[in-house]
Structure 1
Amino acid sequence: MMKNISFFILNLFFVAFASFAQQKTAVKNCPCTIPSEISEWKPQLIKGYDTSAYANNFANSVNGVYIAEDRDSLYQIKIIVDAKSYANFVHFQHLSFSKARLINKHITRCEELPNVHDGGWIGQNIFTPVKAINRQIVASSFFVGENYLRVDKTRFYRLYKCDKESKFGIHDADRQRYYRKVYWKPEGQFTEISPFGFTQKEVKKYNKQQLAEMRNEVYARYNFAFKDGSKWYNHFNNKPDYRWNHFKDVTPFLTQVEKENIKYITAFESADYYDNQFQNDFLTFWEELRKSVLEQNQQQLQSLVQFPFEIDGDLDNMPILKLNSQQFEKIWPLLLQQENYGIDEKGKPVSFLGKSVFNKDDAFTEQMINTRSNSMANFNFEKVNAVWKLNGAYADNELYPKIQNLLNTK
């Protein structure tokens, strides 16, 4: 009897081992998951962005969703290069999902890749995030040599192309995990809130009701459970395309660009600002100034500067330094490199260089919504004869004497 039991247990072991071996073999034979079938993929940042191609706006299509899986978990990476930020910002999101409740543990089959819909839907399955990583990264530090990307000091992903199917993917060498790119695009009526950062120019296209619907559509896209009988419950209940009313908290799904856009357009919904925004002519000036700084176009920049340009020091005994156009050209790079200090949303001190305020569209307007301030970082602005100008800057105790010495040097 013991002999039969032992034989039965041994058979079970071999069946289990064979099943596991078959699963491992199937994954290894999937196209785009073995080194011999892939080649290096360089998206060529210098060729820029095709903003007319909505869901494919970064050279050779970095933007999108990549998925991979192991025995117990499913992983999803979403990469959005914000074309409207002069390629300065990359939004990186990594979501993990447990497959514990699935009967068939294999999702990313070799013969097909499932469509991915926001809100945990992959193929026919909906998943709850186990862990979410959301980061906003400067493109120059994110793309290294353009053939792999770096999320932090230790996490690197190689960009690759599958030679058999001409599909793209990223490879995590440390974990030997191949993320294959899948079909994805935001769904709904107001999808533009997801792929790039909003400026006042975008917001002006919509009335207050549309802005409110746009915000809530993001939550609906991620299957947020609106309160029964509420305005937005009834609104999205009449839209059969939405797979909504599933999660009480969809925060893990929100990308950094969506969080910033929601915060931004919420401010525009307030009556006092929205009704007056069309009379705010600072935006046109800011866009021209920002472009001239990023493109290092000195001639265009100086046309937007009020001369004499004034440098103010930190102490009372530091007289205001007045610069002509030639002096300004020498001093300007120093002002861009000056370190500034502030407090972030969590109340923690942060530092940033003066030039960083020009990395984001419409950074000044966001501050104007709340404070109507006429300064940003170490730069001052003024309306001169009904025209906006960059009229001065602040120099700290370290920078002020350097500027003074340069001005005194013939």
Structure 2
Amino acid sequence: MKQKLLFILFFYSLTIFAQTKQANNCPCTIQSTISEWKPDFKKGFDVKSIFNNFAYTVNGIYIAEDRDTVYQIKIIVDPKSYGTFVYYQHLSFSKARLINKQVTLCETTTNVHDGGWIGNNIFEPKNAINKRFVASDFFVGENYLRIDKSHFFSLYKCDKKSEFGIHDANRQRYYRKAYWEIEGDYPEISIRSFTQVDVKKYDKQQLAEMRNTVYARYNYAFKESGKWYQHFNKKPDYRWNHFKDVTPFITTVEKENIKYITAFEGPDYYDDQFNNDFLDFWQKLKTALQQTDKEKLYALVQFPLNVNGEHDGMPELKVSKQQFDKIWPLLLQQENYDMNDAGKLVSWYSKSAFSKADPFAEQMIHTKSNNIANLGFDNINGVWKISSAYADTELYPKIQNLLTADKAKSQPKKN
């Protein structure tokens, strides 16, 4: 009984310590005391620099709360990926299991760790949302972040202080930016999309360790008799061996990288990775477009071509060979985004993908399906074909109307 009482007092002391430790990143929420925050993307993101972690980038973790729940947003901007993608994660944590339930008061909040840690308390997420989207050109040099076409976060800083945050106007919720440093080894797997150039820096054993590091970072409960428990239990950043399921914590960029490096660990690992028939197909496709040779192009398309909209509820459109000539130019003119040499986002069209010198080396490992820009490719009975395309909310109705008009013309007129 005495030992139990001592444990309760010890845990309570840790909680009080977590509550009283001062933080330097609480948000000001009075309109007159805040101003626009425009991060300086040219300076990049340095996880080891506290000031860079706040002022220069939107990368990081943001915290808000209400009476019962702590909300955590993690934002990672990936400038090395094809196009500039933003990885966005929103987690909700219940306070019900904590002694005081008010551990994140603005004046006393400690810094945030991966794996559900806030101060000395561990949270288990009750809700997780992961998104991956392309940042539009207004993202650079502006003071707001677009989560989707109708949802924006404004970026703000506190006047007279070096404090930063994001404001969700829809929910009237202010998120303060917390200092965040990726813990443990291989931080690169958590902050950018991997390509073959990245993966080839490591041997298979290192790739396996890197993949499991993500799980360890979020306090996954490895089997105590197993290899990885013994490996990570020796490391100071692996603390509790707590969660049986860390899926809610893992971000989209981490999921993509884990899937990607797993392919290199397995039987599809290529010592000469450029010996891949997708590269041959890509060159044929480029030639057909450059020569405007319709017959060569038709041979590289799976008909009917499936065109999908932005939302799951939009019906899949079927484009026949006869309709393809009208639809194809529209697909090539669809807008995408990429980075120029100055590190800024620029708008470009799908057609420009076929003029790039690098034939997307990161795609070469895939042997059955691929996606580049707004086009999907499948290996059908050993032959690569363009099998699908994506149309945004502006293009989709145009294609739908064209197909509807063609269908009406083809039907016999009634007397």
Helix, strand or coil at the partner of 2:28: coil
Q: Is the 8 A contact 1:311 1:393 kept in 2?
A: no
CA 1:379–1:74: 2 relative to 1, 3 Å: closer
Q: 1:320-355: CA deviations, max 9, x gaps?
A: x9xxxxxxxxx996562479xxxxxxxxxxxxx992
Cα–Cα, structure 1 residues 156 and 232, in superposed 2: closer, same or farther, change >3 Å?
Answer: same
| Counterpart in the other structure of 1:249 | 245
- The CA deviation at 1:177 is 1.8
Structure-2 change in CA distance of 1:139 and 1:363 (3 Å): same
335, 360, 366: which one aligns with 1:369: 366
Quick one: distance in 2 between partners of 1:263 and 1:282? 19
CA contact (8 A) 2:217 2:237 kept: no
2:367 alignment partner, SS class: helix
Partner secondary structure for residue 261 of structure 1: helix
Aligned to 2:269: 273
Distance in 2 between the 1:97 and 1:274 partners? 42
Change in 2 beyond 3 A, CA 1:67/1:317: closer
Shift, 1:223, TM fit? 0.6
1:61 to 57, 60, 64: 57
Cα 1:129–1:363 shift into 2, 3 Å: farther
1:177 maps to which of 173, 180, 187: 173
Aligned counterpart in structure 2 of residue 151 of structure 1, from 147, 162, 178 = 147
Q: Which amino acid in structure 1 is aligned with residue 206 of structure 2? A: Q
Per the TM alignment, residue 372 of structure 1 is displaced from its structure 2 partner at its CA by 8.9
| Cα distance between partner residues in 2 of 1:233 and 1:357 | 48
User: Contact between 1:148 and 1:156, CA under 8 Å: does it hold in 2?
Assistant: yes
In 1, Cα distance between equivalents of 2:387 and 2:171: 49
Q: Secondary structure at the match of 2:182?
A: coil
1:294 corresponds to: none
Contact 2:44 2:57 in 1 (8 A): no
**Cα distance, 1:124–1:199 mapped onto 2, change above 3 Å:** same
Measure, in 2, the Cα distance between the counterparts of 1:162 and 1:265: 41
Q: Deviations over 1:182-227 (max 9, x none)?
A: 1112111111001111111100100000000000000000110011
Pairwise CA RMSD? 4.9
- Percent sequence identity is 63
2:344 maps to what in 1?
Answer: none
Q: Tell me if 1:33 matches 2:36.
A: no
- Once the two structures are overlaid, the 10-residue window that deviates more, 93-102 or 141-150, is 141-150
Q: Which residue of 1 aligns with 2:297?
A: 311
Deviations 1:378-401 (A, max 9, x none): 699xxxxxxxxxxx99999x89xx
Q: 1:210 aligns with which of 185, 206, 212?
A: 206
Take 1:42 and 1:184, find their aligned partners in 2: how far apart are those partners? 19
2:70 match: secondary structure: strand
> SS at 2:154's partner residue?
strand
- Name the CA distance, whole Å, in 1 between partners of 2:292 and 2:146: 44
**In structure 2, distance between residues paired with 1:104 and 1:170:** 26
Compared CA separation, residues 188 and 358, structure 1 to 2 (3 A): farther
Q: CA deviation at 1:303?
A: 11
Residue identity opposite 1:189 in structure 2: D
**Structure 2: which 5+ runs fail to align?**
1-25, 305-319, 336-347, 378-385, 390-398, 404-415
Q: Structure 1 residues 168 and 59, CA, compared in 2 at 3 Å: closer, same or farther?
A: closer
| Distance apart, 1:367 and its partner CA | 5.8
Find the residue that maps to 2:75 and give its secondary structure. Answer: strand
Q: C-alpha distance in 1, partners of 2:82/2:94? A: 37
2:147 paired with 1:161: no
Query: C-alpha distance in 2, partners of 1:219/1:317?
Result: 47
SS in 2 for 1:192: helix
- Count of residues paired in the alignment: 327
> If the length of structure 2 is used for normalisation, what is the TM-score?
0.63
Question: Could you say if the C-alpha distance between residues 255 and 272 of structure 1 is closer, same or farther in structure 2, counting changes exceeding 3 Å?
Answer: closer
Task: State the Cα distance separating 1:122 from its structure 2 match.
Answer: 0.9
Relative contact order: is structure 1 or structure 2 higher (C-alpha 8 Å, sep ≥ 6)? Answer: 2
Whether the aligned pair in 1 keeps the contact of 2:370 and 2:376 (CA below 8 Å) is: no
What is the one-letter code of the residue matched to 2:350? K
* Matched residue SS, 1:264: helix
Map of 2:316 onto structure 1: none
CA separation in 2, counterparts of 1:119 and 1:68? 17
SS at match of 1:94: strand
Q: What SS does the corresponding residue of 2:71 show, helix, strand or coil?
A: strand
- Contact kept, 8 Å, 2:167 with 2:175, in 1: the verdict is yes
| 1:237 Cα deviation from its structure 2 partner | 1.3
Name the structure 2 match of 1:27. Answer: none
Structure 1 residues 336, 125: CA separation in 2 closer, same or farther (over 3 Å shift)?
A: same
TM-score, normalised by the number of residues in structure 1 = 0.64
Partner of 1:355: 350
Larger Rg: 1
Seen in structure 2, the aligned counterparts of structure 1 residues 226 and 110 have a Cα distance that, compared at 3 Å, is same
